[in-house]
């Protein structure tokens, strides 16, 4: 059996697996041996996990250029950009200056859990899937220096916690679990079969950690699926203030670290092709008991949300079920070909549309 025949079989059984859908045996067999080896690493997650939605993780920033004929069709399919259309990612945060509050939809939405994150990778390091243990430890050291600086900023001062065994800032046991339960820290990555196949969770928990501001509303994850996940979290309804918090923190933090990997075409480079572009995921936890059939039926809510360009997850993160009272996590699906401001607007518009549907049923 060759890889090509394996993938053909996979395509028939799992048409949703975008790697399998777009893999071209001709393209692959035309590559030099070492490039074939690189491609096999990129698509390993999709091969090992037939139920993958994307089925690939870039290992180096240059993979998106080097293997365009493989990755570009997958990217376009996921982000719904037709073959003939130019991709040239633009960035725009200007809407953070405007008033945009969930309370304008309904008074009841004044105390919502809101979160917005962006993924970033430092250009001078391999992407997480290809990092050695030494790379991971070195990367964390570079970040710790930046955080020491950020601690001097009155608005963003805070603390760094490391999962690296023996670290001066070590977070472990129950203290770690408490941060995970509070949705501040990421879960044990070694339990994620997609990340395991992509090499991304290797050497867990070395080089992993988080910075959290004193107000606990600005957080930087180190060493998860991307080198950095930079986020703002708040309870309330003021969406513009949430985005502005991230924008300012991101600007300040970016000035303290080496340059991020970025492409004119795909925007910010991320491990997973689903996150390219803005690399932004903005979400709300909303209680939608009617749309979730009393909290039991995540699929019903997914179908409703899809019409408004939103994705639905359980509140326990990716691949989790709906929470008590039908609380679900909604976020605009698009990351590439939209700006940061458009994502904020789509989250607001989508939340409004879903809320109307929920309250009239
Ligand atoms: N590798 C998984 C798949 O292909 C995850 C895709 C999106 N999620 C993510 N965290 N990048 O289905």
CA 109 to chain centre: 25
8 A C-beta contact, residue 213 and residue 156: yes
Report d(CA 70, CA 74) in Å as an integer: 7
Question: Domains of the chain by range and CATH?
Answer: 3-79 (1.10.135.10)
Residue from 16, 48, 53, 187 to probe ligand 1 pocket by mutation (most atoms less than 8 Å from CB): 53
Per DSSP, 354 falls in state H
258: tokens are: 């080496």
pTM of the model: 0.96
Q: Which of 110, 111, 113, 105 shows the shortest CA–CA distance to 358?
A: 105
pLDDT value of residue 158: 98
pLDDT in tens, 13-64: 999 999 999 999 999 999 999 999 999 999 999 999 999 999 999 999 999 9
Mapped onto helix, strand or coil, the DSSP state of residue 137 is helix
Position 156 scores a pLDDT of: 98
Query: How close is the Cα of 236 to the center of ligand 1, in Å?
Result: 29
Among candidate residues 317, 128, 150, the one with its CA nearest the CA of residue 206: 128
Q: Map residue 90 onto helix, strand or coil.
A: coil
pLDDT at 324: 77
Beta bridge partners of 314: 317, 328
pLDDT at 340 over 80: yes
Residues linked to residue 234 through DSSP beta bridges, in sequence order: 114
What the block records as the tokens of 79 is: 């982000």
User: Which residues sit with their C-beta closer than 6 Å to ligand 1?
Assistant: 45, 52-55, 194, 225, 272, 274-275, 318
The count of other CB atoms within 10 Å of the CB of residue 307 is 11
Select from 283, 284, 304 the least CA-distant residue to 293.
304
How far apart CA 333 and CA 75 sit, in angstroms, is: 13
Instruction: State yes or no: is 117 an active-site residue.
Output: yes
pLDDT tens-digit series, residues 167-209: 999 999 999 999 999 999 999 999 999 999 999 999 999 999 9
Q: How far is the CA of 12 from the centre of ligand 1 (A)?
A: 20
């Amino acid at each position: 059996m060759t890889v090509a025949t394996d993938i053909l079989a996979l395509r028939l059984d799992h048409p949703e697996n975008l790697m399998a859908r777009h893999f071209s045996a001709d393209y692959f067999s035309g590559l030099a041996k070492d490039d074939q080896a690189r491609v096999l690493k990129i698509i390993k997650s999709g091969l090992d996990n037939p139920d993958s939605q994307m089925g690939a993780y870039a290992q180096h920033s240059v993979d998106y250029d080097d293997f365009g004929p493989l990755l570009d069709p997958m990217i376009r399919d996921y982000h719904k950009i037709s073959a003939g259309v130019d991709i040239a990612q633009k960035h725009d945060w200007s809407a953070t200056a405007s008033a945009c509050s969930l309370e304008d939809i309904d008074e009841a939405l004044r105390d919502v859990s809101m979160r917005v994150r962006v993924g970033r990778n430092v250009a001078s390091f391999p992407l997480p899937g290809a990092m050695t243990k030494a790379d991971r430890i070195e990367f964390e050291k570079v970040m710790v220096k930046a955080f020491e600086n950020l601690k001097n900023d009155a608005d963003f001062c805070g603390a760094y916690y490391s999962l690296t065994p023996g670290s001066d800032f070590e977070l472990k046991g129950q203290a770690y679990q408490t941060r995970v339960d509070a949705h501040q820290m990421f879960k044990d990555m070694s339990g994620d079969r997609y990340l395991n196949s992509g090499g991304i969770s290797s050497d867990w928990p070395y080089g992993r950690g988080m910075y959290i501001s004193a107000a606990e509303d600005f957080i930087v994850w180190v060493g998860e699926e991307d080198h950095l996940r930079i986020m703002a979290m708040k309870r309330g309804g003021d969406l513009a203030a949430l985005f502005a918090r991230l924008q300012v923190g991101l600007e300040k933090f970016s000035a303290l670290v080496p340059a991020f990997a970025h492409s004119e075409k795909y925007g910010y480079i991320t491990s997973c092709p689903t996150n390219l572009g803005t690399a932004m995921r903005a979400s709300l936890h909303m209680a939608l008991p009617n749309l979730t059939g009393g909290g039991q039926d995540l699929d019903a809510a997914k179908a409703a949300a899809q019409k408004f360009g939103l994705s639905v997850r359980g509140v326990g993160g990716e691949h989790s079920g709906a929470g008590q009272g039908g609380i679900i996590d909604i976020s605009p699906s698009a990351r590439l070909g939209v700006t940061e401001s458009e994502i904020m607007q789509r989250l607001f518009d989508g939340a409004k549309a879903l809320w109307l549907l929920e309250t009239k049923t």
